[in-house]
């Protein structure tokens, strides 16, 4: 056995969330989040009873200060060897760390720190401690996140104005290294996701002033281009250290269309950049953890890495600690996405232990949301709330239909989460069904074959977002789904969605209904359109009619738009889920189906991860091959079902999926 650093479970994520959210800078000004953030417990107590078969010793080291009590005896300081005899012993440790993460590590030949220890915030309630296999070295404490680093060099260097412009070839997140600078010379370094941004010193979003040293290793940040407007720049040696976590691509996709292949690769690279301590929205501007953005990231993760740990970290941070005084990120819909995300994580991973750990927090969040409904039982905007849905012209007056649909989905998720915990959640299912009936009564317009955004404004506006939500939440029945697709999603008179965030949901809903040929063209035109403009990662928003630097503007800033945004990586999910056709059909992917569809392509091949295993699908010239290293799979071709055997190729021909 080997000791691990241990802490109050959940506080590791909160601690690193506090650090992360303190790092956003905008025009050399620190910008902390505008929502309430939870904090770690500054003083915690650990306890462990153990059986020693021989005499031994233990030494407790800690992040923080405090004391050790052994067998109820006198108090010992941290770092002191405590010797004991054969028999049953109890060890109690209290740690205080008001400026960090209270945690401990046992150096011993007999007793080891791990999650079998109990920990409390010095109330009467104790829980199992948190740990992580990354922290087994007593010299590497959990106050430092275990990033990896790789040296990267600029692919081109050219003079520009009074200085030098360095192009690293691709969007990256890295620490810039400048060497052999002339001592005591001051300079400002400008960063840009585009060359225009880096060289536009008046409006550059990120820059850093340096002086007085021979070499500099600057703070990690997002950039592709670096501009140093100084006459000495030509003599500098410049490189960067890419900062990342080493997540392995298990998912893959390839077809005969190079543009779609490049879209998949660019989406995967974008997602790598945004998958760090947590799933981030983007790497340049916010670098924050937003629940709506993260909800999509959980889905994409399942089809690229299937890394359960980063999903757990993100959910734990977002849930924070009750009592809740505002919605998650202050956004009503983001609270609902978080509740749904907990269940989706369980279904993907089969991790019931995590669900049981967070369930008290999930219930308090749900109860908080219910406490803010109006007299009709509808979600409305209260003081301090933000009804977001998307950056679009949506009628959000009074009760927004889309918000009620998300509450319906969250209520159904609550019922399922209760079942995971061995409890009866039928009241939540009954509540959801009643809510769905009221949504149909108040927001469905049979004469238009669609839901209206709001029934309170009198505008009777039919928009894509609300009707996409009706499909993705399961609010609409099969008959209504068909009407929505024809009357809204295929209706060119209804304004199109402009962000890849909700564009992904629209394509997901269409693919679920079998409209893959349409999705293929959207991937080519929308995501491919960004690549044709030179994008090396997927943007926060893309408007085809914009020209030049118009593509970079947002939020009233010339370069405010993120050019590397996780919510743009949706094609990774779409191509794995619907084209390769792989989907879990029970928790933890104990059973799964493979239902491939070419979406109008002539050839498809790729891999989909499945919670510790994978499925490989290949189709070309009427020949389909499927391989998996898991049991429980079924290949579905029309009305035909074929069992997939572990570690065996299943070949079917001729076939036209």
**Per-residue pLDDT tens digits for 75-128:** 999 999 999 999 999 999 999 999 999 999 999 999 999 999 999 999 989 999
Examine the pLDDT at 185 and tell me if it is beyond 80: no
pLDDT band of residue 181 (cuts 50, 70, 90) is low
pLDDT beyond 90 at 39: yes
What average pLDDT does range 541-566 have in this prediction?
Answer: 97
> For the stretch 572-606, what's the b/e string if a residue is b when 16 or more beta carbons lie within 10 angstroms of its beta carbon?
bbbbbbbbbbbbbeebbbeebbbbbbbbebeebbb
Cα separation of 169 and 155, whole Å? Answer: 6
* Cα gap 293→570, rounded to integer Å: 11
pLDDT of residue 211: 84
Among 207-216, 458-467, 484-493, where is mean pLDDT lowest? 207-216
Structure tokens at 458: 């009198």
Per-residue pLDDT reduced to its tens digit, 286-335: 999 999 999 999 999 999 999 999 999 999 999 999 999 999 999 999 99
Class of domain 148-244: mainly beta
- The CATH architecture of the domain made up of 580-652 is Sandwich (2.60)
Q: Do domains 148-244 and 580-652 have the same CATH topology?
A: no
Check if the beta carbon of residue 626 is closer than 8 Å to that of residue 594. Answer: yes
- Mean pLDDT is lowest, of 213-217, 253-257, 651-655, for 213-217
Contact 657, 624 (CB under 8 A): yes
- State mean pLDDT over 549-560: 97
What is the value of pTM for the model shown? 0.97
Pairing outcome for strands 156-160 and 163-179: antiparallel
More confident residue, 162 or 152: 152
Query: Model confidence at 234, in pLDDT bands (50, 70, 90)?
Result: confident
Task: Tell me what the mean pLDDT of segment 342-369 comes to.
Answer: 98
Please write the tens of the pLDDT for every residue from 269-283.
Answer: 999 999 999 999 999
Whole-number Å distance between alpha carbons of 17 and 288? 9
The per-residue pLDDT for range 574-602, each reduced to its tens digit, is 999 999 999 999 999 999 999 999 999 99
Residue 363 phi, psi dihedral angles, 5° rounding: -65, -40
The pLDDT value recorded for residue 342 is 98
- The percentage of the chain sitting over the pLDDT mark of 90, rounded to a whole number, equals 95
**469: helix, coil or strand?**
helix
- The rounded distance, in Å, linking the Cα atoms of 443 and 455 is 6
Strands 252-255 and 603-610: antiparallel
Count of all residues that appear for the chain in the document: 657
Mean pLDDT computed over 594-615: 97
Query: How far, in Å, CA of 596 to CA of 624, rounded?
Result: 9
Q: Is the pLDDT of residue 213 over 80?
A: no
Residue 109, CA atoms < 13 Å, CB-side half-sphere: 11
Tell me the pLDDT tens digit for each residue of 494-508.
Answer: 999 999 999 999 999
What does pLDDT average to over the chain?
96
Residue 184: pLDDT band with limits 50, 70, 90: low
Q: Is the bond leading into 654 cis (omega within 30 degrees of zero)? A: yes
Helix (H, G, I), strand (E, B) or coil at 652: strand
Domain ranges for the chain: 6-128, 148-244, 250-290+315-327+497-579, 580-652
Q: How many Cβ atoms from other residues are within 10 Å of residue 22's Cβ?
A: 12
Which one-letter DSSP state was computed for residue 548? G
DSSP state of 443: H
Band (461; pLDDT cuts 50, 70, 90): very high
Compute the average pLDDT of residues 42-55. 96
Q: What pLDDT, on a 0 to 100 scale, did the predictor assign at position 180?
A: 77
What CA–CA distance (Å, rounded) separates 172 from 393?
33
Q: Which CATH architecture has domain 6-128?
A: Sandwich (2.60)
What was the pLDDT predicted at 368?
Answer: 98
Chain segment 378-418, per-residue pLDDT in tens: 999 999 999 999 999 999 999 999 999 999 999 999 999 99
Residue 182: its pLDDT value, please?
A: 63
Residue 656's pLDDT band, with cuts at 50, 70 and 90, is: confident
Residue 236 has pLDDT above 80, yes or no: yes
């Amino acid at each position: 056995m080997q000791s691990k650093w241990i802490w109050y479970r959940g506080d590791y994520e909160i601690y690193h969330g506090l650090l992360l959210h303190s790092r956003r800078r905008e025009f050399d000004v620190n910008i902390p989040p505008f929502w309430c953030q939870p904090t770690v417990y500054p003083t915690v107590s650990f306890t462990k009873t153990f059986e020693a078969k021989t005499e031994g010793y233990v030494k407790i080291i800690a992040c923080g200060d405090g004391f050790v009590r052994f067998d109820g005896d006198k108090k010992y300081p941290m770092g002191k060897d405590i010797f004991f005899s054969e028999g049953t012993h109890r060890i109690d440790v209290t740690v205080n760390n008001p400026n960090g993460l209270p945690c401990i590590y046992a150096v011993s030949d007999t007793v080891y720190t791990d999650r079998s220890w109990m920990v409390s915030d010095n109330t009467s309630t104790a829980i199992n401690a948190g740990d992580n296999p990354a922290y087994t070295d007593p010299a590497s404490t959990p106050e430092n996140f275990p990033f990896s680093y790789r040296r990267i060099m600029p692919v081109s260097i050219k003079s520009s104005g009074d200085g030098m412009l360095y192009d690293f070839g691709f969007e990256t997140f890295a620490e810039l290294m400048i060497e052999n600078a002339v001592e005591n010379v001051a300079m400002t370094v400008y960063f840009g996701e585009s060359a225009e941004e880096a060289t536009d010193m008046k409006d550059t979003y990120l820059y850093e002033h340096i002086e007085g040293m021979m070499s500099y290793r600057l703070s990690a940040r997002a950039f592709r281009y670096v501009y140093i407007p100084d006459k000495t720049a030509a003599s500098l040696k410049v490189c960067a250290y890419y900062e990342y976590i080493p997540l392995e691509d298990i998912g893959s996709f390839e077809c005969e269309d190079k543009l779609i292949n490049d879209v998949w690769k660019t989406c995967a690279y974008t997602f790598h950049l945004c998958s760090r301590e947590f799933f981030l929205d983007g790497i340049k501007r916010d670098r924050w953890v937003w629940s709506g953005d993260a909800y999509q990231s959980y889905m994409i993760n399942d089809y690229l890495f299937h890394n359960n740990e980063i999903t757990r970290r993100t959910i734990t941070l977002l849930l924070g600690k009750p009592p809740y005084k505002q919605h998650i990120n202050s956004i009503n819909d983001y609270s609902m996405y978080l509740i749904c995300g907990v269940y989706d994580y369980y279904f993907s991973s089969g991790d019931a232990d995590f669900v049981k750990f967070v369930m008290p927090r999930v219930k308090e969040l749900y109860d908080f949301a219910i406490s803010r409904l109006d007299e009709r039982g509808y979600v409305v905007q209260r003081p301090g709330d933000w009804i977001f849905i998307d950056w679009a012209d949506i009628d959000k007056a009074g009760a927004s239909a889309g918000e009620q649909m998300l509450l319906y989905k969250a209520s159904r998720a609550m019922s399922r989460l209760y079942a995971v915990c061995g409890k009866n959640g039928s009241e939540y299912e009954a509540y959801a069904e009643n809510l769905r009936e009221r949504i149909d009564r108040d927001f469905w317009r049979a004469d238009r074959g669609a839901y209206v955004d709001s029934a309170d404004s009198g505008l009777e506006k039919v928009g894509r977002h609300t009707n996409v939500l009706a499909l993705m939440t399961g609010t609409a029945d099969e008959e209504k789904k068909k009407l929505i697709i024809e009357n809204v999603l295929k209706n060119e008179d209804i304004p199109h969605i402009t962000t890849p965030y909700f564009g992904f949901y629209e394509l997901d809903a269409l693919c679920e209904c079998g409209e893959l040929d349409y999705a293929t063209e959207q991937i080519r035109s929308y995501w491919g359109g960004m690549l044709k403009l030179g994008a090396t990662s997927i943007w926060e928003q893309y408007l085809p009619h914009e020209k030049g630097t118009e593509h970079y503007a947002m939020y009233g800033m010339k370069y405010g738009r993120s050019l590397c945004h996780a919510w743009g990586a949706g094609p990774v999910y779409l191509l794995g889920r619907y084209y390769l056709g792989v989907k879990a059909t029970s928790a933890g992917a104990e059973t799964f189906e493979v239902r491939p569809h070419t979406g109008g392509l002539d050839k498809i091949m790729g891999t989909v991860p499945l919670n510790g295993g994978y499925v490989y699908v290949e189709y070309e010239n009427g020949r389909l091959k499927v391989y998996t290293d898991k049991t429980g799979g079924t290949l579905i071709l029309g009305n035909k079902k074929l069992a997939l055997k572990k570690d065996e190729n299943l070949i079917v021909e001729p076939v036209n999926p």
